[in-house]
Amino acid sequence: MIEAGDCNEGEAAEAFGARHDQLRLVEAVVFASANPVSVADIALRLPAGADVEGLLADLAALYAGRGVNLTKVAGGWAFRTAPDLGFLLRQDAVEPRRLSRAALETLAIIAYHQPVTRAEIEAIRGVATSKGTLDVLMEAGWIRMRGRRRAPGRPVTYGTTVGFLDHFGLESVGDLPGLEELKGAGLLDTVPPSAQGIPGPNDDEALSGDEDPLGDDPGDLLSGR
C-alpha cells in the first residue's frame, strides 16, 4: 500500500496506474475463459510478484453489487450471474437433460466415495448399475475414469470432474452437503455397508495406492468394467 509521504504525486499516480492495469488484465483473463481460472494461471499473465490474491479480492468487491459476480468455483475464479437474478434468466437457459433417479444416486455415490468401482457403487445402492447410467454421467462431463483397481478383474475406478464442481457451483468436493442432507432430499435412500464406511469426499487427481493408471488399450476407455 502507498502511504502519504512515501513518494511524490507522480510516483503515486504511476503505481496506481500499474495496479489498475493489472486489475483490468485479471478481469479480461477471467471474462475470456470458458472455465474457472486458477490463481496460478492468472499469475502467468501478470508481472512477477503481482498480488494476484489481492487483485482478485478487489475485483470481487467491485462486482459484488452488480448483475454478475466474481465467484470462486471449482478451484478457480469465474464470473457468474448474481444469485438473486438467476430466476429471471431461467427462461433463456438451455434445459439440461434430466437425470434419472439411478443416475442421481450413482453421481452422489461417486462424489462421496471416489475413487469407486461399478461393483462398489452397486454394493452401496443395493441394485445393479447399468453401463448406460455411467455413460450418461460421463457424457454430461461430471464423472471420469480415473484408473484401475488393483483387484481381481482390474475394475475401472470413477471420480468426479472439474465440470461437476463448476455445474454445481462448488469450490471443491469438500463443499458437498452431508449424506444425511442428500437422503433428506430423496437423492440417496440407502446406507453404505459398514465395511464400506463413509469416507470424506476427496477428488485428488493423484491415483490412490490401490489404483493403477488406465492402459493404452482403447478398450480401457470403452469397457468401463
Q: Are 161 and 75 within 8 A, CB to CB?
A: no
The model's confidence at residue 175, banded by pLDDT at 50, 70 and 90, is: confident
- Closest listed residue to residue 110, CA positions, set 74, 144, 139, 141: 144
CATH number of 101-223: 1.10.10.10
The per-residue pLDDT of the chain, averaged, comes to 78
Domains 9-87 and 101-223 alike in fold: yes
- Comparison of pLDDT for 172 and 106, the residue scoring more: 106
Rounded-to-integer distance, Cα 43 and Cα 49, Å: 9
- Comparison of pLDDT for 177 and 189, the residue scoring more: 177
Long-range contacts of 175-183 (CB under 8 A, 24+ apart): 176/111, 176/112, 176/201, 179/112, 182/108
pLDDT attached to residue 95: 52
Task: Say if domain 9-87 classifies as CATH 1.10.10.10.
Answer: yes
The model's confidence at residue 173, banded by pLDDT at 50, 70 and 90, is: confident
| DSSP assignments along 205-222, one per residue | SSPPTTEEPPPSSTTHHH
Task: Specify which residues 81 forms β-bridges with.
Answer: 68
Chain segment 88-112, per-residue pLDDT in tens: 766 554 555 678 888 988 998 899 8
Evaluate if residue 220 carries a pLDDT over 60.
Answer: no
Domain ranges within the chain, ordered by starting residue: 9-87, 101-223
Q: pTM for the full model?
A: 0.56
pLDDT attached to residue 97: 62
Average pLDDT over residues 35-41: 90
